[in-house]
């Protein structure tokens, strides 16, 4: 197995794709990894599509993940996750939020939204583990917590302890109120639980 870990994070502008990638990079750096990342945003502030490549390991030369080389696809939006499934290496995994956000290309009639992106990925042979991170975030009181829910979901699939990532998440809110910090702590735990349930094929906890 390669010593380099390749993570592709995709979604819609405003979902926190780039922030999530930055936090994942901070966790890898904290453990001494060489880290490279790159982002591509299309009208990110207007709800356009966003993709972010993250690579870390002993020595990383390029930030770009080649098609068929991603170890994990973290999909903040299901149609975007499906659109990037070709980037995964065989037998790797996609962790997907099933909460839908319709991008402008669909509203403009330039792209037809898939009927069931997660099912289509499974039928194509992709290992997909899906849960509604958006609904979990709303239950915790703020749709913006979806970012932290997704980071919690990937936490147990990384080559370092989940607690390292959690510390980097909470550090982002160190200057916020204790209530905000606790909200994000709960969101991270809920994401871990949702992903664990999805991996076991169980009902995702509410």
Domain boundaries defined on the chain:
5-200
8/65 Cα distance (integer angstroms): 8
Each residue of 34-54: pLDDT tens digit? Answer: 999 998 765 544 557 889 999
3-state helix, strand, coil in the chain (%, to 5): 45, 20, 35
**How buried is 3 (Cβ within 10 angstroms: 0-12 exposed, 13-18 middle, 19+ buried)?**
exposed
Give the fold, CATH level 3, of 5-200.
Pyruvate-ferredoxin Oxidoreductase; domain 3 (3.40.920)
Each residue of 134-181: pLDDT tens digit? Answer: 999 999 999 999 999 999 999 999 999 999 999 999 999 988 999 999
* 206, pLDDT greater than 50: no
* 89, pLDDT greater than 70: yes
Residue (of 158, 156, 162) closest to 185 by Cα position: 162
């Amino acid at each position: 197995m390669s010593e380099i870990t390749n993570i592709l994070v995709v979604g819609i502008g405003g979902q926190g794709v780039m922030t999530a990638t930055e936090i994942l990079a901070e966790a890898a750096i904290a453990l001494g990894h060489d880290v490279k990342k790159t982002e591509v945003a299309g009208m990110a502030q207007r709800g356009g599509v966003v993709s972010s490549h993250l690579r870390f390991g002993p020595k990383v030369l390029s930030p770009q993940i080649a098609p068929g080389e991603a170890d994990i696809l973290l999909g903040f939006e299901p149609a975007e996750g499906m659109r990037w499934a070709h980037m995964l290496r065989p037998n790797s995994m996609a962790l997907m939020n099933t909460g839908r956000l319709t991008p402008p290309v669909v509203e403009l009639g330039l792209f037809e939204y898939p009927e069931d992106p997660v099912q289509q990925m499974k039928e194509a042979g992709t290992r997909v583990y899906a849960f509604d991170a958006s609904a979990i975030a709303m239950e915790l009181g703020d749709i913006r917590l979806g970012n932290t829910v997704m980071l919690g979901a990937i936490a147990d699939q990384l080559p370092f302890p989940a607690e390292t990532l959690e510390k980097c998440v909470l550090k982002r809110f160190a200057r916020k109120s204790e209530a905000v910090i606790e909200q994000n702590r709960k969101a991270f735990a809920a994401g871990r639980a949702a992903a664990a349930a999805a991996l076991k094929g169980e009902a995702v906890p509410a």
